[in-house]
Amino acid sequence: MSKPEEYQHLKHAGNHCDVLKHVVFRACVQEQLNVHENGIILVDCHAGEGLYDLSKQTSGDFERGVARVVQNLDQTAPPAVHDYVNAIQEADEYMQFYPGSPMLGAKLLREQDEHRLVDLYVEDVEGLKDGALFWQADVFEADAVEFLVPNDDDRHKVILIDPPYLDQEDFYRAKVLTERILDRDPYCTILLWYPMIQKSRWRYGYAKSIKDMAKKKAKLGIYQAWLTVDKEGLQGSGMIVVNPTQRFDEIVDEDTIDWLSATLLNSGRSDYSLEQWMKKKKTKTETEA
Ligand SMILES: C[S@@+](CC[C@H](N)C(=O)[O-])C[C@H]1O[C@@H](n2cnc3c(N)ncnc32)[C@H](O)[C@@H]1O
């Protein structure tokens, strides 16, 4: 299937949405690796090409995104931002090529981890870990969860859901996919990126509906961070992490989101929010009762 023009992520690569998404993604995967020594399965549901040539980008989106982050980086910038910039510069120190989530994830993985990727249109993803499994398919098909969450493997699953949201249906489908994954594995860590678009009917209620569903289904808890940088159009975006580590809000913390929102601001006023809600850990006596 040839890739439709509107699905070319190059137009947006390195923009403010990619910055927020990739800062949270890197930190979240690293945290999961720290906790799961026996290995994780990292799944990228919307992999994209994996590497973007910014010299071919005509929108200039990256200049208001990753380029600003790099220009404003100093010793006072938060650690999660430093890690992100290091990863970008490790891919290409001159930043002509911007790495997508497959490469940013692959760089973190160890021997004992596995990388699984899906894209409906992309045939060749750059920067995969050796032996990665790649599936060219529609991730919203009902049977996709069997590939995303293999139930014959004990390793912890970490899944990025990052659809293009060009079609309004993607909002609905991404929620259904999140729910299907949690029904199969309520401990699975899911990262869901979503755009905040002016006047969209999903602008205010979407994240809440995901969190309400996940609060019932997820075993550990939920983290959410969003920020806005523009008065109009694509105003900003958010990341929801279902089943984060216990103190993920101290890793990508308020200082980090505040720093990003101030650095990436284009028009209007910068606005952001961060919250983490965890299910109470049962005490030993409660478990035994
Ligand atoms: C926003 S881009 C992904 C960017 C990538 N995750 C990153 O952070 O570098 C969205 C990708 O989703 C793919 N896509 C669109 N609809 C899809 C579907 N139903 N199933 C799987 N992939 C799909 C597109 O081909 C495109 O490459």
Report how far ligand 1's centroid is from the alpha carbon of 74 (Å): 33
Residue nearest to atom 9 of ligand 1 (CA): 100
Q: Which residues contact 79 (CB under 8 A, 6 or more apart)?
A: none
Domains, the chain, ordered by start: 5-279 (3.40.50.150)
Report how far ligand 1's centroid is from the alpha carbon of 76 (Å): 34
Report how far ligand 1's centroid is from the alpha carbon of 119 (Å): 6
Report the pLDDT value the prediction gives residue 123, as an integer from 0 to 100: 82
Report the pLDDT value the prediction gives residue 2, as an integer from 0 to 100: 62
Sign of CA dihedral 85, 90, 96, 98: negative
Report the pLDDT value the prediction gives residue 92, as an integer from 0 to 100: 95
Bridge partners of 222, per DSSP, are: 242, 277
**Is residue 119 within 6 Å of ligand 1 at its C-beta?**
yes
Strand segments, DSSP code E, in 124-188 are 133-135, 156-161
AA letter at 69: V
Residue nearest to atom 19 of ligand 1 (CA): 138
Report the pLDDT value the prediction gives residue 280, as an integer from 0 to 100: 77
Residue nearest to atom 26 of ligand 1 (CA): 48
**Is residue 101 within 6 Å of ligand 1 at its C-beta?**
yes
**Is residue 121 within 6 Å of ligand 1 at its C-beta?**
yes
Query: Going by DSSP bridges, is the β-strand pair 133-135/156-161 parallel, antiparallel, or unpaired?
Result: unpaired
**Is residue 234 within 6 Å of ligand 1 at its C-beta?**
no
**Is residue 173 within 6 Å of ligand 1 at its C-beta?**
no
Query: What is the atom index within ligand 1 of the atom nearest the CA of 104?
Result: 9
Report how far ligand 1's centroid is from the alpha carbon of 47 (Å): 5
Splitting the chain (289 residues) into consecutive groups of 10 residues, what average pLDDT does each group show?
70 96 98 98 96 94 96 96 97 95 96 96 85 94 95 97 92 97 98 94 91 97 97 95 97 98 93 94 57
Distance CA 218, CA 211 (A): 10
**Is residue 243 within 6 Å of ligand 1 at its C-beta?**
no
Structure tokens at 263: 């650095």
Structure tokens at 114: 């596995």
pTM confidence score: 0.95
Sign of CA dihedral 50, 194, 3, 143: positive
Q: Which of 120, 135, 158 to mutate to test the pocket of ligand 1 (most atoms within 8 A of CB)?
A: 120
**Is residue 66 within 6 Å of ligand 1 at its C-beta?**
no
Report the pLDDT value the prediction gives residue 172, as an integer from 0 to 100: 95
Query: What is the atom index within ligand 1 of the atom nearest the CA of 119?
Result: 22
Bridge partners of 197, per DSSP, are: 234
**Is residue 118 within 6 Å of ligand 1 at its C-beta?**
yes
Report the pLDDT value the prediction gives residue 202, as an integer from 0 to 100: 87
Report the pLDDT value the prediction gives residue 169, as an integer from 0 to 100: 92
**Is residue 147 within 6 Å of ligand 1 at its C-beta?**
no
Query: What is the atom index within ligand 1 of the atom nearest the CA of 121?
Result: 25
